[in-house]
């Protein structure tokens, strides 16, 4: 556990010292959402209708963009080898890094989301559910993305490749994340969607660090 | 007394057999120097010993127990110095070293251990300087301080003298001698001369091991 | 090095023997299946002549899933037992499976035009198939993204296993999404009861697709083994 905390602390430290990098992810998120009114027109009804979907898709893309760096810098400067050789299980190390990633990118996205929902004229009844769905969904995105981030280490053109690998795997989270918000706005229950999102998270929590650790091991071999 | 040994090791990299049928055995306090031309597999052998690489066949064992059985335990008993120095540009020197130490001794007194280790390599005055300001030689010294900051019986050093000046090499030799007196083991691959007490030489040209007295490895 | 290639050598011998059989069965079965399906079987009372697309579409969709399963099994075997042939088989299956998936999507669109009035609807089956195509493409991209081919093989093996776990989840999600947004009004392509005059050509085509897959797979594996040998010779030149 103390190893987990050490790595979490270090990664948070690194992220805070390189503050601009994380701000850029949030800026991308905001910008991507702001593009939509230009694309589909400023009609409030249309924007309100697509708001949840647009925010989720933009969050997906933003989370993916930042994931490329999850292992990359440690891979390049040799830290990843040394982490693998530490007495702590690699799965725990990977989980600590994913946690740090979520705290530094997922959390800011969740904070920015209601603001964007206002810009898109989303029904205010959906706001709490949007936040709740993002809280349950974005950790799964970080977990799934970590597997992709580990697999592309040392490849040519990692960033585009990462998108190709993990965006299809994000589809279930997207479907239920959006559906939870839309259900509430439409006046329905969204307990089922939330339960399924939680189930994804519970499934991803043990499986993804394990797969990502396998990916890291083969990358540094 | 601990024994670290390898039997009939075969290493295949990118479909090429780097070496085959390699044996070695190292006892507490012992040192093994790897020599051989470029591409003869010195780095591969060190990575194999560390567990980063899996041998295509053959066994590595510590006190008779296969190291692959429990990679975390093996990782805990070794320090590996590779080609990269793993110094984070935005962390200060002491933060860099104490992070690695905290992974091994649970965070207790990691800071003090890191400072002492940095002093041993003559860069105690750089403690609070961020890593990005360091020269190649200073980064290498930070990396070497890392292995001093948390004790481990087995040191695997891949070309540790790269970018080091004569004075620091002497400090490294003294550190290694002290490590060995305390029962530690060292495996080194090196191009430059290093002064070591009685050590074994493993020549990767013919996989022979010979015992050497007090002389220079080259 | 030799022990690693002992198996592929034996495999090459068997492959040379089996391959012509696969080629001939494919030609005969597909010929018979196409004749029965396109000419001698009746048109559907509801869908008319366009039902004949089914004889290509349904086997292609089956093969698309079969190939992905096959890839996942080979990748698992390759990762666990380090069997070189399993890795090669997984790698060789990917483009074939992607083509089957594309064929299923393409014929689905062709069938959709007269039935639904548009080339594409976000029907649950078609959408799942589309995601499957992306999974195939991701696998192929990853397998070829490394300068060291063995890196690509290992990374893509892990990816295909992760994808395999996700396929049922994606399928379930897409089904849910589809029922939310589109009340079930589309006509199912394969109804529960199917007349023998339609079943026979369908089964013949399914078997023909299978033998075709094996035929192409054998060719691709042989090519891959030869390519490996060439690479080893090149390395010997460089390293002596």
ipTM of the modeled complex: 0.89
Residue numbers in A near B78 (CB within 8 A) = 85
Instruction: Give me the domain span that covers residue A29.
Output: 2-220
CA dihedral sign of residues B177, B178, B181, B187: negative
CB contact under 8 A, B75 and A220: no
Q: Measured between alpha carbons, how far is C173 from A138 in angstroms, rounded to an integer?
A: 17
State the smallest CA–CA distance between residue B28 and chain A in angstroms: 21
Q: Measured between alpha carbons, how far is residue C121 from residues A143, C137, C183 in Å?
A: 32, 22, 13
Other residues' Cβ atoms within 10 Å of the Cβ of residue C129 = 21
For C77, phi and psi rounded to 5 degrees?
A: -60, -45
Contact C163 A219 (CB under 8 A): no
pLDDT level of residue C118 (50, 70, 90 thresholds) = confident
Look at residue C103 and tell me if it is in a domain: yes
For residue B40, is it within any domain?
A: yes
Question: What pLDDT digit, counting tens, does each position of B50-104 carry?
Answer: 999 888 888 899 988 888 888 888 988 999 999 898 899 999 999 999 899 888 8
| Same domain, residue pair B183 and B199 | yes
Beta bridge partners of C203: none
- Residue A36: the pLDDT is 93
Specify whether B185 is located in the same domain as B123: no
Give the total number of structural domains in chain C: 1
A126-to-A106, A182, A194, B75, C162 alpha-carbon distances in Å: 19, 7, 14, 50, 33
Please return the burial class of B46, using the count of CB atoms within 10 Å of its CB with bins 0-12, 13-18 and 19+.
buried
Tokens of A105: 């990118």
Task: Give B131-149 pLDDT, tens digit per residue.
Answer: 899 999 899 999 999 998 8
pLDDT of res. C1: 38
* A33 within 8 A of A54, measured Cβ to Cβ: yes
- Cβ C120 vs Cβ C109: under 8 Å: yes
Specify if B82 maps to a domain.
no
Asked if C180 has any chain A CB less than 8 Å from its own CB, the reply is yes
- Distance from the Cα of A133 to chain B's closest Cα (Å) equals 35
For residue B142, the enclosing domain spans 88-151
Strand order in the sheet with B199-203: B78-81, B154-158, B185-189, B31-35, B199-203, B208-212
Query: Average pLDDT in the C183-211 region?
Result: 71
Q: Look at residue B99 and tell me if it is in a domain.
A: yes
- For residue A90, the model assigns a pLDDT of 94
Q: Are A29 and A59 in contact (CB under 8 A)?
A: yes
Cβ contact (<8 Å) for B103 and A14? Answer: no
Q: Give the pLDDT band (50/70/90) at residue C194.
A: low
B43 in any annotated domain: yes
User: Is C122's pLDDT higher than 60?
Assistant: yes
> Residue C191, SS3?
coil
d(CA A130, CA B158): 52
Report pLDDT for B213. 58
Q: List the subunits that have 3+ CB pairs under 8 angstroms with B.
A: A, C
Last residue of a domain, one of B98, B117, B151: B151
Percent of chain A scoring above 90 in pLDDT: 76
Rounded to whole angstroms, the Cα distance separating B91 from B131 reads 6
> Distance between CA A36 and CA A122 in Å, rounded?
13
| Cross-chain CB nearest to C1 (options B14, B17, B39) | B17
Give the number of domains in chain A: 1
Identify the pLDDT of residue B108.
65
Instruction: Classify residue C169 as exposed, middle or buried by CB count within 10 Å of its CB (0-12, 13-18, 19+).
Output: middle
Give yes or no: residues B163 and B216 share one domain: yes
Residue C212 covered by a domain: yes
What is the reported pLDDT for C239? 65
B164: domain CATH number is 3.40.50.300
Question: Is C8 in contact with C225 (CB distance < 8 Å)?
Answer: yes
C156 within a domain of the structure (yes/no): yes
Structure tokens at A57: 């898709």
Instruction: Classify residue C19: in a domain, yes or no.
Output: no
pLDDT of residue B218: 40
A104: Cβ–Cβ under 8 A, 6 or more apart, which residues?
Answer: A11, A12, A15, A16, A22
Q: How many structural domains does chain B have?
A: 2
In a domain, B65, yes or no: no
**Min Cα–Cα distance to chain C from B213, Å:** 34
Residues B95 and B121 in one domain: yes
pLDDT mean over C159-185: 81
pLDDT band at C187 (very low <50, low <70, confident <90, very high): very low
Q: Which residues pair with B158 in a beta bridge?
A: B189
The residue segments making up the domain with residue C163 are 50-184+197-239
* Residue at B83 is within a domain: no
**Residue A138: what pLDDT?**
95
> Is residue C208 in some structural domain?
yes
Strands B16-27, B3-13: pairing kind? antiparallel
């Amino acid at each position: 556990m103390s190893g987990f905390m050490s790595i979490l602390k270090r990664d948070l430290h690194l992220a805070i010292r390189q503050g601009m990098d994380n701000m850029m992810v949030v800026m991308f998120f905001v910008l991507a959402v702001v593009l939509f009114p230009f694309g589909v027109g400023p009609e409030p009804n249309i924007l309100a209708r697509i708001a949840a979907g647009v925010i989720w898709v933009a969050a997906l893309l933003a989370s993916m963009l930042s994931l490329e760096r999850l292992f990359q810098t440690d891979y390049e400067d040799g830290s990843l080898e040394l982490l693998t050789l530490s007495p702590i299980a690699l799965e725990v190390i990977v989980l600590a890094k994913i946690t740090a990633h979520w705290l530094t990118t997922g959390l800011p996205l969740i904070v920015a989301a209601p603001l964007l929902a206002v810009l898109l004229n989303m029904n205010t009844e959906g706001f709490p559910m949007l936040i709740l769905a993002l809280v349950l969904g974005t950790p799964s995105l970080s977990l799934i993305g970590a597997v992709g981030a580990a697999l592309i280490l040392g490849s040519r053109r990692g960033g585009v490749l990462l998108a190709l690998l993990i965006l299809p795997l994000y589809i279930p989270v997207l479907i239920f994340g959006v559906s939870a918000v839309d259900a509430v706005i439409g006046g329905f229950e969204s307990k089922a969607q939330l339960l399924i999102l939680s189930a994804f998270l519970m499934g991803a929590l043990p499986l993804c660090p394990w797969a990502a650790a396998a990916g890291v091991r083969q990358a540094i071999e | 007394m601990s024994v670290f040994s390898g039997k009939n090791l075969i290493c295949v990299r990118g479909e090429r057999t780097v070496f085959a049928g390699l044996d070695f055995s190292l006892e507490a306090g012992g040192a093994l120097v790897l020599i051989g031309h470029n591409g003869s597999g010195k780095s591969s052998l060190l990575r194999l010993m560390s567990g980063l690489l899996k041998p295509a066949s053959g066994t590595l064992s510590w006190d008779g127990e296969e190291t692959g059985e429990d990679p975390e335990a093996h990782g805990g008993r070794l320090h590996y110095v590779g080609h990269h120095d793993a110094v984070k540009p935005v962390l200060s020197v002491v933060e860099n070293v104490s992070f690695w130490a905290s992974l091994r001794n649970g965070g207790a007194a990691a800071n003090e251990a890191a400072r002492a280790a940095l002093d041993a390599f003559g860069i105690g005055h750089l403690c609070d300087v961020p890593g990005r300001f360091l020269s190649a030689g200073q980064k290498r010294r930070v990396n070497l301080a890392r292995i001093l900051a948390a004790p481990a019986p087995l040191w695997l050093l891949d070309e540790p003298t790269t970018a080091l000046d004569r004075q620091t090499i002497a400090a490294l030799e003294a550190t290694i001698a002290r490590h060995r007196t305390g029962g530690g083991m060292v495996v080194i691959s090196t191009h430059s001369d290093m002064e070591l007490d009685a050590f074994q030489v493993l020549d990767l040209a013919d996989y022979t091991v010979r015992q050497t007295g007090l002389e220079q490895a080259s | 090095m030799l022990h690693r290639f002992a198996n592929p050598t034996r495999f090459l011998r068997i492959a040379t023997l089996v391959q012509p059989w696969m080629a001939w069965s494919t030609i005969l079965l597909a010929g018979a299946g196409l004749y029965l399906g396109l000419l001698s079987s009746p048109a559907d009372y509801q869908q008319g002549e366009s039902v004949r697309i089914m004889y290509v579409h349904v086997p292609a969709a089956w093969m698309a899933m079969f190939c992905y399963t096959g890839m996942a099994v080979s990748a698992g075997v390759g990762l666990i037992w380090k069997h070189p042939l399993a890795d090669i088989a997984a790698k060789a299956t990917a483009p074939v499976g992607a083509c089957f998936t594309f064929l299923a999507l393409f014929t689905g669109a062709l069938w959709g035009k007269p039935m639904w009035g548009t080339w594409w609807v976000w029907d649950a089956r078609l959408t799942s198939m589309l995601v499957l195509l992306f999974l195939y493409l991701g696998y192929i991209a990853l397998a070829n993204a490394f300068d060291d081919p063995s890196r690509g093989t290992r990374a893509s093996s892990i990816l295909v296993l992760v994808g395999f776990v996700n396929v049922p989840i994606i399928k379930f999600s897409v089904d849910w999404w589809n029922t939310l947004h589109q009340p079930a009004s589309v006509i199912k392509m394969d109804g529960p009861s199917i007349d023998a005059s339609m079943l026979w050509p369908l089964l013949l085509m399914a078997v023909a697709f299978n033998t075709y897959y094996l035929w192409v797979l054998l060719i691709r594996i042989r090519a891959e083994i030869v390519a490996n040998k060439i690479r080893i010779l090149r390395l010997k030149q460089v390293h002596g």
